[in-house]
A and B are shown apart, each in its own frame.
Chain A
């Protein structure tokens, strides 16, 4: 059974650029949640996808968007990058919208310069 995998592991982008981060959910999981963790802070909920539809969103602007594919993998897209977007982006997968087996991937560390 493979766990949650995220790619890339590290990324450096310039302010104003766009970025796409990817997450492959654990086998058997159909829900993916994304979190942003700034240095020294706890993760903050961005949004969740359940059966390919957005199932909740945190306090993030529309330039943060996402997708979930039929195989339950997911993408997080961020447009018009700002310096404050520099953070560790974590994906978590689970089974059902009640979060059974909630498991985090190891994250993508994004640096915006």
Chain B
């Protein structure tokens, strides 16, 4: 079983749609959680951290369920510029930032 599992997609949605990505992780001792965005042939960039209380940044909402070891990302009112691969990322260790990435979910927002 992979340490971090994501639905690979692709997700093809029209502009303005709401889309949700899910992720599960296997290490129950994992300490911190993130969503990264990666554009084609570019480096990953931090989209947002994920907290147990849930957090929102504009059109993006992230949720963490530690009991189910489940992380989600919701994108509302999707834009063409949201087209990218979204990587679910877990830091298993409480100290050093040694990240475990999922394989990513590809999103294409269509005009």
Interface residues of A (CB under 8 A from B): 31, 33, 35, 40-45, 48, 50, 55-56, 58, 88, 90, 94, 97-99, 102, 104-107
Assess whether B98 is in contact with A45, with CB atoms less than 8 Å apart. yes
Of the residues B43, B98, B101, B104, contact of A56 by C-beta under 8 Å: B98
CA distance A41 to B21 in the complex (A): 17
Indicate whether B46 reaches chain A with its CB closer than 8 angstroms: yes
Using known A-B contacts A41-B103, A42-B87, determine if residue A97 contacts B95 with beta carbons closer than 8 Å.
yes
Interface size class of B (residues with CB under 8 A): 20 to 34
Assess whether A50 is in contact with B45, with CB atoms less than 8 Å apart. no
Chain A contact residues: helix, strand, loop or mixed: strand
Inside 8 A of B54's CB, which chain A residues have their CB?
A: none
Using known A-B contacts A90-B43, A90-B44, determine if residue A99 contacts B102 with beta carbons closer than 8 Å.
no
